[in-house]
Amino acid sequence: MTRILSTAAAASLLAGAAFAEPQPYDIDPAHSELVASWNHAGFSTTRAIVFDIQGDVMFDQEDPANSSVSIQIPTSAIVVTPEFTEHLMQSGDFFTDAQESMITFESTSIEVTGEDTAEITGDLTLNGITNEVVLDTTLTQQGTGPQGDPSTGFLATTTLDRTNFELGAFTPVIPAEVEVTISMETSPAS
């Protein structure tokens, strides 16, 4: 999930706004989501989705390394099947305080790796534990959105080891790796 939260920074970083210093961008909550997926003991792929992505994105076109992103997601916003929600949130096997906790990502550096790609490194806090993660980010589209407003879209991916966040119940039967994809749409703050 952490990588998903960094994607916003990369998109803003790669946007083509004509500014000489960092400018604020808003995350469009109606067109942004994070999807986490993992293998369920070889039988199926389980997915969780989050639509409630909040945060601050600052983009500096002249010096992209001077850009930054800060993302917050309430753990209670994680959507899974009803049967799994109770186990994930209330059993104690996974989140220690799911109803109250937040998932946060704070970028520490941004490295532009190509014309429309970047690696966003930052501190991901999940289940009360902080680890460094890298989001592989791609600028997917920049221009005028369907509503006539300037928009920048991006896609960020990462792989998390859930045991690093004390969410390792049932490993190794259920592998520790969780694939995270963040699709986000942003626009210059008004």
* pLDDT at 86 (0 to 100): 78
* pLDDT at 99 (0 to 100): 54
113: left (phi over 0), alpha (psi -120 to 50) or beta: alpha
Phi and psi of 162, rounded to 5°? -65, -25
Which residues are within 8 A (CB) of 96 and not within 5 positions of it... i.e. 6 or more apart? 127, 128, 166
Q: Cα separation of 17 and 152, whole Å? A: 10
Could you please report the per-residue DSSP string of 98-147?
TTT-EEEEEEEEEEE-SSSEEEEEEEEEETTEEEEEEEEEEEEEEEE-TT
Omega before residue 172 within 30° of 0, cis? yes
In a structure prediction context, what are the per-residue pLDDT tens digits for the chain, which is 190 residues long? Answer: 444 344 444 444 454 444 468 889 999 989 999 999 999 999 999 999 999 899 988 877 677 778 899 999 988 888 888 888 877 777 767 766 655 688 999 999 999 999 889 999 999 999 889 999 999 999 898 889 888 888 888 899 999 999 999 888 899 999 999 999 999 998 889 7
Percent of the chain with pLDDT over 90: 45
Burial environment of residue 76 by CB neighbours within 10 A (0 to 12, 13 to 18, 19 or more):
middle
3-class secondary-structure state, position 183 = strand
pTM of the model: 0.82
Beta bridge partners of 44: 40
HSE-CB of 81 using CA atoms within 13 angstroms: 6
